[in-house]
Amino acid sequence: MLACTRIGAVHTVVFAGFSSEALAGRIQDAGCAAVLTCNEGVRGGRVIDLKSTVDAAVRSCPTVRHVFVSQRTDKPAVMGQLDVPLDQVMMSQSPACPAEPLDSEDLLFLLYTSGSTGKPKGIVHTQAGYLLYTSMTHQYVFDYRDGDVFGCVADVGWITGHSYVVYGPLCNGATTVLFESTPVYPNPGRYWETVQRLRISQFYGAPTALRLLLKFDNSWVKKYDRSSLRTLGSVGEPINHEAWHWFHSVVGDGRCPLVDTWWQTETGGVCIAPRPADHGAPIIPAMAMRPFYGVQPVLMGEEGDPLPGNSVSGALCISEPWPGMARSIYGDHQRFVDAYFKPFPGCYFTGDGAFRSEDGHYQITGRMDDVINVSGHRLGTAEIEDALDEHPAVPETAVIGYPHDIKGEVPFAFVVLKEDFGSAPLAVLQELRELVATKIAKYAVPEHFLVVKRLPKTRSGKIMRRILRKVAMETTGDLGDVSTLDDPSVVKEIIEAHELYRKQRGQE
């Protein structure tokens, strides 16, 4: 990443868990000239064959002139025409490389993320504002001081890794930690062993990992020295109270401020967090609380009007620009305008809902659109539906988010099968799982599949996901207004199918 920025090249990092098709889609959209990869990735005791994913992807990417291959493991990569052995060619290069002067608004990087409709969008971040914003938030939200070792355990493939593994900490001269594993490999003490060994001052992680770890005995935490820790941070999804208190009292021994930081790929850096605040101001558990310097949150009501006062809930918008905000969607500025600035004219719309408490503190209540969050990974339900709909047996699907005690949410797919496939649903469902894994990634594969005859639709043909959510959650006692349904009998049909599905799962 830093080498790219040094020569003025725009980078777009792709998470190693993506399929070759997902990688190809990003390379094509960005028109990449070069791809950099390792021969293999290593994670949690598993080897990921990155080179073959890249090989399969670049076949459909005519803009790629070179594939630079670094040897992460001993296994020699099979080298093709486009491939350049990175470690070898680097040895023959001059160690001096003057930095390319750029404009403050020149592109720094693209990062692809999911929206509620269409293909993933290439979020554009630019040079100066992004760096200023990540370095300031890194310093003030986490109380970074010279000499600290900053431990953000996010993958560099997501915005958290960009802003708080690479750009923010390094801009501030921090020592940053590159964590290349999982929280449970080789055992559930891995994070805390790392804290002890590296004397980490700030530990920044995701609620999904905490929910996984708190199921193990506390001795996995207690046996390591965590006295170097000064601030704890959480990011990516709402943190539940159990995880918050475990993190605060078991990991932090109750002595480290725990900051629940709300932000997004699009915001560049943390926008709402309990710190900075007047020295020692109390932190309310599981609340993001305070806007960062210069961030102006506004809650919008159903009529699109800003809600005044406190103890109100609404659509979370930001009314003034801030340095770290995304500048565009690569290649489609109109989509950028439409997605973020049309819903509430004059404001940036986040897609999240929020509550402003009696004391004026913010609490994020979750997405208001068709975006779900699986283990902190953002997914558009439309993306999963697109992948499922490619199956010849499947005329139609609807995907919703369904609660999961570790992952936060998992995709739940309602699937309509063509008549002639109805007799072999299990085989089709297995093919559907594989389809999603190859089109997107394994984590996008629905945990639940419910085969239904029809989907609930309005007279104008729109799927009423609200009803599907209620069926999945078994809260159909209160269906709300169903008067716009084209044929209300469909609800009973789906409830019955769901009851059967539950019985079958119960027997497994």
Give residues in contact with ligand WT7 (CB under 6 A): 113, 158-160, 235-238, 260-265, 288, 350-352, 364, 367, 373, 378
Residue 119: CB minimum distance to ligand WT7, A:
16
Long-range contacts of 388-391 (CB under 8 A, 24+ apart): 388/413, 388/415, 388/432, 388/435, 388/436, 390/435, 390/439, 391/428, 391/431, 391/432, 391/435
Nearest Cα to 12, choosing from 123, 134, 101? 123
Residue 247: CB minimum distance to ligand WT7, A:
13
Residue 215: CB minimum distance to ligand WT7, A:
21
Residue 203: CB minimum distance to ligand WT7, A:
15
Q: Which residues contact 444 (CB under 8 A, 6 or more apart)?
A: 374, 377, 379, 383, 384, 387, 411, 436, 437
Nearer to ligand WT7, 233 or 446 (CB): 233
Nearer to ligand WT7, 70 or 313 (CB): 313
DSSP E strand stretches across 1-120: 34-38, 41-43, 46-48, 66-70, 83-85, 107-113
Nearest Cα to 178, choosing from 1, 306, 10? 1
Contact 464, 456 (CB under 8 A): yes
Contact 272, 291 (CB under 8 A): yes
Contact 456, 467 (CB under 8 A): yes
Residue 219: CB minimum distance to ligand WT7, A:
29
Residue with tokens 């309990």: 274
Q: Which residues contact 493 (CB under 8 A, 6 or more apart)?
A: 452, 453, 454
Residue 196: CB minimum distance to ligand WT7, A:
26
Question: CA 154 → CA 112, 215, 503, distances in Å?
Answer: 16, 21, 38
**Cα distance between residue 447 and residue 372, in whole Å:** 13
Residue 97: CB minimum distance to ligand WT7, A:
31
Nearer to ligand WT7, 174 or 272 (CB): 272
Nearer to ligand WT7, 348 or 449 (CB): 348
Residue 43: CB minimum distance to ligand WT7, A:
19
Nearer to ligand WT7, 83 or 352 (CB): 352
Nearer to ligand WT7, 30 or 152 (CB): 152
Amino acid at 455: L
Contact 54, 37 (CB under 8 A): yes
Comparing every residue's Cβ against ligand WT7, the nearest one is 265
Nearer to ligand WT7, 107 or 273 (CB): 273
Nearer to ligand WT7, 113 or 208 (CB): 113
Using DSSP, state whether 278 is helix, strand or coil: coil
